[in-house]
Structure 1
Amino acid sequence: MTTCPPQSVRPGHGLTVADAMDPCDYRIADDRTVDQADDMLRGADTEYLLVCDHDGRCEGLVTRTGLHPFLARSWYTERTAISATAHQRGPFAWPTMGLALAALAMRIKHLAVWPVVDEDGYILGVLTADRATGLLAVAPAQ
């Protein structure tokens, strides 16, 4: 069996997730309802909310698209907690992760947005596929 060294597998741009991540202003607790999440998404005019547990650690990310099945039934939105929905869950990106590796992982997982957490699971920001791809396109390979 032949293996390739990591340098030949991914470009060596030297950029990390920390270089490309954006702050995330919109969060919701995992015990909040789908109805509350929908209100926040509409009010903030955003496509996603980061989901946090009772300790403030990142549990995942919920999108408008992910809430559609629950919003079709009005009585369901008032009773269903975000934790019970099928939303994007970990593993998450970390700030020291190579940006090329993160972009590859996002392509494989079909993610447009990926939460970035510290070693304790607290949210530091988000990485978007567009930003990662854009930075890698203009960064010189090392």
Structure 2
Amino acid sequence: MTPNSPRPAGPRLTVADAMDLCDYQVTDDRTAEQADDVLRGTHADYLAVRGHDGRCEGLVTRAGLRPFLHLSGPAERTVGDTAHQQGPFAWPTLGLVLAIRVMDIMRWRVWPVIDDDGYLLGVLTADRAADAVAAAASA
């Protein structure tokens, strides 16, 4: 957009307009088996991972846990040891169209949304973001 071009009509959608609460979380010191049990018991596709200070560390999925399950050895593998999605994270004020582009490039279906201090506010899913943009375009 050039300085003299007109601004798009309507409100600018942000991540806050399309994010969902994250219902299930796990701390990074839990074992991979414990996280897998939570995923199976809740039928969730992902869990938010929190550090010892409560800040968001990323997301873990069944696929990310799979290589760490049932490993033999003296120490159990924790969620912090797994290949979970770690930053960058989205902010609620980030433009929704830009967020969709980032998610497409990174091939993410879900993206954690954090506040300025790093605490989880919710998640942005690709489907919910696309629906919000489509609804705004048809309005």
Aligned partner of 1:64 in structure 2 is: 62
Q: Percent identity?
A: 60
Q: TM-score, normalised by structure 2?
A: 0.87
**DSSP-derived class of the 1:120 partner:** coil
Aligned partner of 2:22 in structure 1 is: 24
Shift of 1:123: 0.3
Q: Which runs of 5+ in 2 are unaligned?
A: none
Q: Which amino acid aligns with 2:133?
A: L
Q: Which runs of 5+ in 1 are unaligned?
A: none
Is residue 2:103 matched to residue 1:98?
A: no
Distance in 2 separating the partners of 1:70 and 1:31: 14
Relative contact order: is structure 1 or structure 2 higher (C-alpha 8 Å, sep ≥ 6)?
1
Q: TM-score, normalised by structure 1?
A: 0.86
Taking the TM superposition and a 5 Å limit, the aligned residue runs for 1:1-142 are: 14-71=12-69, 73-75=70-72, 79-140=76-137
Shift of 1:89: 0.3
**DSSP-derived class of the 1:92 partner:** coil
Alignment RMSD (CA, Å): 2.2
Shift of 1:75: 3.4
Shift of 1:140: 2.6
Write out the 4+ residue segments of structure 1 that deviate beyond 6 Å after TM superposition: none
